[in-house]
Structure 1
Amino acid sequence: MTSETELPTRTNQPGYPTHHFAMRFSSTPRGARLARRLAGQRLDAWGIPYDSDAHDALTLIVAELAANAVQHGRVPGRDFHLALALAPAGASATATVRIEVTDTRTECVPVLAAPAGDGGRGLLLVECLATRWDWHPRTDGPGKTVWAVLDVGVS
């Protein structure tokens, strides 16, 4: 299911999203790849152009969170969910993009891995690229949502 809505801008609520995208993807490498590609297209349509630093950082964050949902959060027969939201620029002239990836596995909690290991550096990349990130358990069923926020300049 895809939803793309243009919400009215409220001047008294600067965090109100002007754009929103949400879709479910199969918990496979192909689903993760499609999530990254569609997120990149949506960001470009929202004024964060391809090959900009913000676009590259955001698509890398989506790629890492989607790959983690597939590799560590996969439950056979269940999809993962990607949501993007763009909140308008306030007085600081920076907009905020929020990325959320939800899976249905409850026992795998996201943790930062040691940089010396053979793998598990995806969340370290998210930590370095995002303005902030965290996770929380789902309230509407089993699983968790990992989210990241990046403040960006939008033309």
Structure 2
Amino acid sequence: MSTTRNPRRLLNETEILQVTQAVQWAHPGMDFDLAERIVMQTLAYVDTVSHSGPDATLAAPPAIAAGWQVLVLHTRVYARLNCLFRVYGNDVPVHHTPQDPAAPPDPGAVDQTAAAVAATGYLVDADLWQPGLSVADLIAAASEAPSEATVPHGSEPSVGRAHCGP
């Protein structure tokens, strides 16, 4: 029996709400459900990156890159998340290098990354892992037909605050 990881375990509910609202506010017209899906997949991606070796070629599609950029701006939340990764045995923080917006991510690298996210134990929301699909495209699609989140809520307890350093 395989266990599915829930990215909600990485942040507390207040932090999830703050980051989700910030993703929504950064993208006019985005509904809360889409913003939350992006945040959940972003957390799964960042956790996967924290488990990957330095030579791993991982690439985020536009939706996940947008979520990560907002997450990084919440510096205390992001620092605590990296401390949590250290508690799990990953001593190197997950750094963010923004993608060139004029150059879409390599589709093969995005597919490999989605597979790595799944191998780490997370459900992959396939709609968000399309390398050629912009956030604006996702907003338009969400306004046409509501979709269901693929991350089960409450399947794992939330992890408490991690303390990092002295």
Structure 1 length normalisation: TM-score?
Answer: 0.32
Q: Which has the higher contact order (CA 8 A, sep 6+)?
A: 2
Determine which structure has the larger helix proportion and give its number: 2
TM-score of the superposition, structure 2-length normalised?
0.31
Which structure features the higher share of strand residues?
1
